[in-house]
Structure 1
Amino acid sequence: MKEQKLKIKDLVTIGVFAVIYLVIMFGVGMIGVIPILFLVYPTILGIVSGTVVMLFMAKVQKPWALLIFGMLTPIFMMVEGHTYILVLHAFAVILIAELIRRAGSYNSFKYNMLSFAIFNTWICGSLMQMLWAREKYIEMTMMMGNEYVEALERLVTYPHMALVYLGAIAGGLIGANIGRILLKKHFIKAGII
């Protein structure tokens, strides 16, 4: 199969979906004002954003589309004050997701579902900053107050992060399956894909 190249129309679609994803991500991220809920944030994000990302994957079945789409949000977050660790973590994870998607020729639900489950772990990098760039992360979250920072320091440990990653993968699998149901039920019937 000859690989298709991304066109201007595809880049516009990537941009539109990235904005929708960013809005969902920040909306769901509001639960992070309660430190313990920050640990389930990746799981909930996967469940809530699964439909949008699966629709994106159905619409743009071309190489590097997922990598470009996925990197826009972490780059935006770095510009807003997060560390470079978030971007490096996201790049590694999203590149793996892109390669999984490629293995399924971009149109296999099974491969797209696995790809999204891995893709969804990029957001775990926002918490990994607490472990890998502690001072900078504390400085960034100090506006939430000392109690909040202290709670995060107690909660963000390597054993807890293993559970956060597992939760992100589970949330991605659930979100992908919800997306599959909604795509079949609404978007395909409406002729959107």
Structure 2
Amino acid sequence: MNNQTNMSGGTTKMKAKDFITLGIFTVLFFAVVMVCIFASAATVVTFAFGCAIAALPGGIIYMLMRAKVPKAWSVLLSGVVIGLIEFLIGAGWAVAVGFIAGAIIAEILSRIGQYKNFWLNTIGYSIYMTFFALGTYLPMVIMSGYVDDMSTSNGVSAEYLTELHSFMNSTMIVIIAVVTFVAGIIGALIAKGLFKKHFQKAGII
């Protein structure tokens, strides 16, 4: 058996240095995404596309992480950690579920390509960010009471919430999902252009 793969089609098991590298990139990814989300909250319109905005710089970090740690379960582990952090800081269970569900799909797609197929990694990332967006914005339409209680406890003003509810609807959720998915692809392509040598070295074409 090739020492680069296991029977399930994934790469070799993660080692201590892989966990460290994955941890660093996970923290960096989370920090960049949160900065983008908080910055986008300046207005209701920009906040609605906060996940799409975050998908651009996030794609650079995510795809470089894939190149540095192309190992089995790495995608899922990173997503679960971020989902749990989101829940613990008060983002709500829906955001955490969105992150984890997206990470499961991204893990499956990456595994199909043995963690080295650029387009499977890219589509996985786009889905990952799209599910993050759905976990963030969909509750505003179908669970408005839950969102209001959580947002109020986090210091969001009633005026902002009123404006947010008037802006959000089912059509807007679809638009947000599509824009976020496309932004994820663009972010991954930017990463490929910036780190082409790293991708080639890792076997990600």
Shared fold (TM-score, shorter chain, > 0.5): yes
On the 8 A contact 2:83/2:96 being kept in 1, the answer is yes
What one-letter code is carried by the residue in structure 1 that aligns with 2:177? Y
Partner secondary structure for residue 100 of structure 1 = helix
1:114: which partner in 2? 123
Query: 2:151: which partner in 1?
Result: 141
Structure 1 stretch displaced more, 28-37 or 171-180: 28-37
Whether 1:173 and 2:185 are equivalent positions in the alignment is yes
Contact in 1 for aligned 2:109/2:124 (Cα 8 Å)? yes
Residues 1:165 and 1:10: Cα distance change in structure 2 (over 3 Å): same
In the comparison of the two structures, how many residue pairs are matched? 191
Match of 1:22 among 30, 34, 58: 30
Q: Match of 1:105, SS?
A: coil
Q: CA deviation at 1:154?
A: 1.4
How far residue 173 of structure 1 moved from its aligned partner, in angstroms, is 0.4
Query: So what's the TM-score if we normalise by structure 2?
Result: 0.85
The aligned counterpart of 2:98 is 89
Q: Which residue is 2:42 aligned to? A: 33
SS in 2 for 1:33: coil
Cα distance in 2 between the residues matched to 1:92 and 1:123: 9
**More helix by proportion, 1 or 2?**
1
What is the RMSD computed on CA atoms of the aligned residues?
2.1
1:142-188 alpha-carbon deviations (Å, 9 max, x no partner): 32211100111112222111111101110000000000000116x57
* CA displacement at 1:34 relative to structure 2: 0.9
- SS of 1:171's partner is helix
C-alpha offsets along residues 43-72 of structure 1, whole Å, 9 cap, x if unaligned? 111112111100000011111101111222
Taking structure 1 as the reference length, what is the TM-score of the superposition?
Answer: 0.90
Amino acid at match of 1:61: P
Give runs of ≥4 in structure 1 deviating > 3 Å. Answer: none
Q: How does 1:39-118 map to 2 (within 5 A)?
A: 39-118=48-127
Which AA in structure 2 matches 1:158? S
Contact 1:47 1:171 in 2 (8 A): yes
CA gap 1:85/1:188 in 2 versus in 1, 3 angstroms: closer
Unaligned runs of 5+ in 1: none
Structure 2, unmatched stretches of 5+, are none
Residues in 2 aligned to 1:51 and 1:157: alpha-carbon distance in whole angstroms: 31
- The letter of the residue matching 1:26 is M
1:143-158 matches, cutoff 5 A: 143-158=155-170
Mapped contact 1:21–1:49 kept (Cα < 8 A): yes
Structure 1 contact 31–37 (Cα < 8 Å) conserved: yes
Percent identity of paired positions between Structure 1 and Structure 2: 25
Q: Aligned partner of 1:11: which letter?
A: F
CA distance, structure 2, for counterparts of residue 55 and residue 13 of structure 1: 11
Offset of 1:122 from its aligned partner?
3.1
